[in-house]
Amino acid sequence: MPQPEVSVIIPARNESEHIIGCLTSLAAQTGASVYEVILVDNGSTDDTAILARQFAKDHPGFDLKVLSEPRPGRGPARAAGFAAARGTFLLSSDSDTQVPKHWVASLTRALRTGRYVAVTGNCRVIDCRPRTNFMINNTLRWGMRSYRLIVGHWWLTGSNFGITRTAYDLSGGFGTDVRDQEDIDLSWRVHRLGRIRFMPARDAVTTAGDRFSRGTIYGVWGYVRAYTGRFILRQGDRFARED
C-alpha cells in the first residue's frame, strides 16, 4: 500500500451489527487522496473484529488495519488508533456511523487550506421513528451551536472530525485516562492552537440511534450527565456513558 496522506480512525466495541455498513461507506469514498482506515477493536466480545478482518480480505485494495486496545473506553481506543496513524491529516468517526462518499475529500480539503487546525461536523440519526429522528437531529444541531456560543469554540464530534497531525501532536492528543467525553476534552486543547471549522450540512454523517432507544430526553441526558461530571464537577469518568 502507498504512503497515505489521510488516516481515518474508528474505535469499535461490540458493533457487529453496524461495522460492515461503516466500512462499506469508507471504502466507497470518491475524490479522496490516498487514505488508510484504522479500526481499533476495544475489547469486543462479538464478531466485530472478525467481520472487519474479513472485510479487509474481501477488499484487497482498501487499506484497512485492525488493531486491538484492551483498555476500555473511547479515549484509549482513539489514542491507540491515532498513534498508529501514518497520515498528515487525521479523521475520526465511529463504528456505528456511515459517512457520505465525499467525506474524506471534503474534510481533507478544508484542512489542507492551512486556515484551520481542525474541522468538525454534525451527525444525523435516521433509524428511529420519524418524530424521534426529528427531535434528536434538531437537539444535536442546536446543541452544537449553543455550545459554540457559550464556550467560544466548536467541539470536535468524535464521529465526524478531522485534525492536522501537527495540531494533534501539539495538543497532547487523546488522554488514555479519559474513557468518555474524550472528543470534548481534546477540543479544549485544540482550540487554543487555532481555528476549528464547522463543516456544512452536506458533510454530516449518519449514526445509529441505539443510545436513544429509551427516548430522546434519556439519550441526551446521558451526554449532559457525562459532560457535567467531567468538566463541571471534575469527577472524571464517574458518570461516563456506557454506549
User: What are the pLDDT digits (tens) for 54-109?
Assistant: 999 999 999 999 999 999 999 999 999 999 999 999 999 999 999 999 999 999 99
In percent, how much of the chain has pLDDT > 90?
Answer: 73
In percent, how much of the chain has pLDDT > 70?
Answer: 86
**Cβ atoms of 8 and 37 closer than 8 Å:** yes
70 closest CA partner among 40, 46, 100: 40
3-state secondary structure of 171: helix
**Cβ atoms of 5 and 107 closer than 8 Å:** no
Residue 221 above 60 pLDDT?
no
Rounded CA Rg of the chain:
17
Can you tell me the mean pLDDT for 147-155?
A: 94
**Cβ atoms of 147 and 178 closer than 8 Å:** no
| C-alpha cell, 180 | 468518555
Residue 152 above 80 pLDDT?
yes
Mean pLDDT of the chain: 90
